[in-house]
Chains A and B, each alone.
Chain A
Amino acid sequence: MVAMVDSPADVRPDGAEAPVLLAVQNVSLAFGGVKAISDISFDIREGEIRAIIGPNGAGKTSMLNVINGFYHPQEGTITFQGKVRRRMRPYEAARSGIARTFQNVALFRGMTTLDNIMSGRTLMMRKNFFWQALRLGPALNEEIEHRRRVEEIIDFLEIEHIRKTPVGKLPYGLQKRVELGRALAMEPRLLLLDEPMAGMNLEEKEDMSRFILDVNQQFGTTIALIEHDMGVVMDISDRVVVLDYGKKIGDGPPDVVRANQDVIDAYLGVPHE
C-alpha cells in the first residue's frame, strides 16, 4: 500500500514556483526500536501555507520537532535557506527564523500575555549585559522599541483586553492566540503551527484561520501547519503532505491529495478481505 508519490510529480499546477525555503531530505527518526519517521522528503516553498496531515501517530509532530531541532534524526538532512544541516538545534532554528507553537499550548504560565509575547523578542534584544543590568540608556530605548512591536502584534491578534492577564488564567482558545503572538514576535521566516485549532469551537477556528491567512498574506510568512480539521486544511493550505505510520503517502495541492487513494485508505481504513 506504500505508493510513494514523490517529487517532481507533485509540483503546483500553475507552474509558478516560489523558491524552496526548507527542504527535508530522506529523514529517518527512531526512538529505540520505534520508527517515528522513515525516509521522508518534502519541501516548503517561500510564502506558501503547507499543511502536514495524517492520522494520529503518523509522525507529524515528530516532523516539526526535527525541523526546529528538538529531535535529531538519525538519517537525512534539513536544508533551510540554502544551508544544509544534518541536524538542527533549537537555538539555531530560532536564530535563523523558525518559530513554532505547540500541540499542547506551551506558554510561560506565570507571566502575563505581554511578557509572554515579549519573550518572543529575546533574540532580537542585543544590547549588552551591562546595559541590561542597569536598564539604562540603550537598553531602555531598545525595550521601548520592542514593546511597540509587541503592541502591534497584540492589536493584530485582538487580545488587547488580556494584555496584563497571567496566561494561566486564560481560556484555551485565547492561550493558543497568545502562543501564536509569541511566535509572531520572533518575526519568523517560517512559522510552524502544531494543531493551531485543536479543541476550539467553530467561531474560534474561524478567527484562527483568519489570523493564519493574514499572517501569510500581510507579513509574507511561510507557514507549515499540522491540523486535523480537514475543512480548514483544504481551505487555507496551498499544498498538503500526508503522513501515515511515519511514511509519506501523499503530497500535493489539496484537490490532488483528496483524490489520492492511499490517503483515503489511511483515513477511512481498507477492507481486509
Chain B
Amino acid sequence: METLYLVLIDPFVQMVQAPDFFLQVLWEGFVSGVLYALIALGFVLIFKASGVLNFAQGIMVVFAALSLVGLTALGVPALLSLVLCIGIMFVLAVGVERMVLRPLVNQPDIILFMATIGLTYFLIGLGELIFGGEPKTMVTEQLLLPTGSSDLDVMGGFLILQHIDIAAAVIAIVMVAALGFFFSKTRIGRALRAVADDHQAALSVGISLNQIWVIVWFAAGIVALVTGIMWGARSDVSFALQIVAFKALPVIILGGLTSIPGAIVGGLVIGIGEKLGEIYWGPLVGGGIESWLAYIIALAFLLVRPQGLFGERIIERI
C-alpha cells in the first residue's frame, strides 16, 4: 500500500505542491528532448535514403565539434571555422560515398551497418590523432551564441532559463522544420524517398544514387555539426559525447525509423519522460534511472507498435 502510494500518488502531489519546480523539470526535459530529436534526425535521414542505421552518427557529432574547436584554437575566426567545418562534413560525405557505400552497393543492409561501425572506429582514431583525447571547451561566445541565464517569475516561484538552452531549442526547431520541409516537398526530397523505396526503379528514372547518398550524408553531417555545437556548449567537447548519440536509438524506435516528425515527438517524449522519471520516481529506487529509462520506454513501445509512432506500416502482399 505504502509502495503504491509512493509510485502512483506521491509524485503528482509533489508536482502540484511545487509547480515552479515542475515547470523547471519540464523545461530541462524539453531542451534535452529537442537535442535528442536533432541527433535522431541524423539517423533518420540516412536510414530513409539507404535503409542503413548509421552507427557513426554519434562520432560524427564529436568529430564535427572537435574540428570546430580545433580550427578555432589554431587562430581561425570562429565563424570562418564554422564554414570550414561545413566543408569538412561535405568532404566526409563524399568520402563515405566513394569509399564505403559505392563498393558495397547491392550488399545486404547488415553489411552496410557493419561498415558504419568500421567508420566509427576510423573517425575515433582520426579524431584522437588530430585533436588529442582530452576534453575541450566549445567556443560558444565566439559563435555569437548567448550565454548566461534569466529568471522568470511563475506561479509563486521562479524558472531559470539558460540562454544557450533557448538558443539550442530555437535552432533545433528551425533546423528540423527546414529539413522536414526540404525532404518532403522538393524534387530532391522525392528522389530521396524514391531511392529508399526501390534502387532499381530510382535508377530507371534517372536518379543518381551516388548524388543522393552524398546529399543525405552531407545533411546528416550538418545535423551532426549543429548537435555537436549545442551539446558541446552545454557540457564540453569530448569523445564521451558520442554516448549521447545512443540516446537517439530509443528516440527513433519510439518515433519510427523513417519519420522526421517521429524523431521530433520521440525526442520530446524521451527527453521529458526521463527527466520527470529521474526527479519524481528516481528516489524510489535510489536515483540514476535517467540513463536507462529511455530504453525501457522504447522496449515497451516495441511490444505495442513495432513500426513506431509515425513509421511506415510495412505492407506485404502474399
Contact = CB atoms under 8 A, between A and B. Distances in A.
Interface in A84-103: 90-91, 94-95, 99-100, 102
B194 interface: yes
Given A108-B193, A110-B197, A119 B205 contact: yes
Contacts of A123: 205-206
* Interface of chain B, main secondary structure: helix
Given A111-B190, A115-B190, 14 more contacts: A70-B200, A94-B205, A95-B206, A102-B200, A102-B204, A109-B198, A110-B258, A110-B312, A119-B190, A119-B205, A122-B191, A132-B186, A133-B186, A183-B204
A34 interface: no
A50 interface: no
Contact of A135 (B185, B200, B206): B185
Nearest to B312: A110
A271 to B, nearest CB: 41
Nearest to B215: A129
Nearest to A129: B188
A182 B201 CA distance: 10
13 contacts: A102-B201, A106-B201, A108-B201, A109-B198, A111-B194, A119-B190, A122-B194, A122-B205, A123-B205, A133-B186, A135-B182, A139-B186, A182-B201
Interface residues of B, number: 25
A78 interface: no
B185, B186, B187, B207: most-surrounded residue (chain A CB, <10 A): B187
Interface residues of A, number: 33
A94 B188 contact: no
Given A133-B186, A139-B186, A108 B204 contact: no
B174 interface: no
B208 interface: yes
Interface of A: 68, 70, 90-91, 94-95, 99-100, 102, 106-111, 115, 118-120, 122-123, 125, 129, 132-133, 135, 139, 143, 168-169, 182-183, 186
B258 to A, nearest CB: 8
A123 B208 CA distance: 10
Interface in B190-221: 190-191, 193-194, 196-198, 200-208
